[in-house]
Structure 1
């Protein structure tokens, strides 16, 4: 996690908007994770990885952004079957847990995302 980026975003948008941005990111990404876990669609994989990468970069999820960037590149080259979706989903789970563990320190609450 890039905690500096997380704190910068919180300062840029304010505490209330920060909580809303995080809640929306987690909700949308959780939905995508469930879809990818259940049945990854090769035709959408590059776009899914691109979405996750962009959101991850904005929110300081560095490891996830790197994994998604690699997955996106592989999928765009037609090598969707080499994308380690399980590893990317595990990375998201770790990043999500780390963020939620710091909620008190960072001053946000996400009751609906826990």
Structure 2
């Protein structure tokens, strides 16, 4: 679900403080995107929301979320945005978020 190697690479690239800032910003923005998908947005906007989620998820190592979003993005690009299972996207988002936050908390506790 989480590519911890990617998480470590990003943290090494931008530093612990920069990583915390990027992760917080992503988590906030991704939550908004997922809520918009669940609320029901026009089918033509689904692709853009999924593209955002996919790209950000890839940057943070959320590989399962990125894969689900990529599949949905392809469907939306083919004109099938209304068929994207947004509840699955939301479910994978919640699990990925919990796993990332749990892993980061454990990592911080180990560093203390």
Shared topology, TM-score over 0.5? Answer: yes
Question: Partner residue of 2:17?
Answer: 16
Higher helix share: 2
Question: Partner residue of 1:97?
Answer: 98
Question: Partner residue of 1:29?
Answer: 30
In the alignment, is the contact (CA less than 8 A) between 2:65 and 2:92 conserved in 1?
A: yes
In the alignment, is the contact (CA less than 8 A) between 2:10 and 2:60 conserved in 1?
A: yes
CA RMSD, 1 decimal: 1.3
Note closer, same or farther for the CA distance 1:84–1:45 as it changes in structure 2 (3 Å cut): same
Cα deviation 1:51-80 (Å, max 9, x = unaligned) = 110000010000000000000000000011
Structure 1, unpaired ranges of 5+: 109-114
Please state whether the residue corresponding to 2:43 is helix, strand or coil. coil
Please state whether the residue corresponding to 1:47 is helix, strand or coil. helix
Count of residues paired in the alignment: 108
In the alignment, is the contact (CA less than 8 A) between 1:29 and 1:52 conserved in 2?
A: yes
Structure 2, unpaired ranges of 5+: none
Moved more, 86-95 or 38-47: 38-47
Please state whether the residue corresponding to 1:18 is helix, strand or coil. helix
Question: Partner residue of 2:74?
Answer: 73
Question: Partner residue of 2:7?
Answer: 6
After TM superposition, the score normalised by the length of structure 2 is 0.91
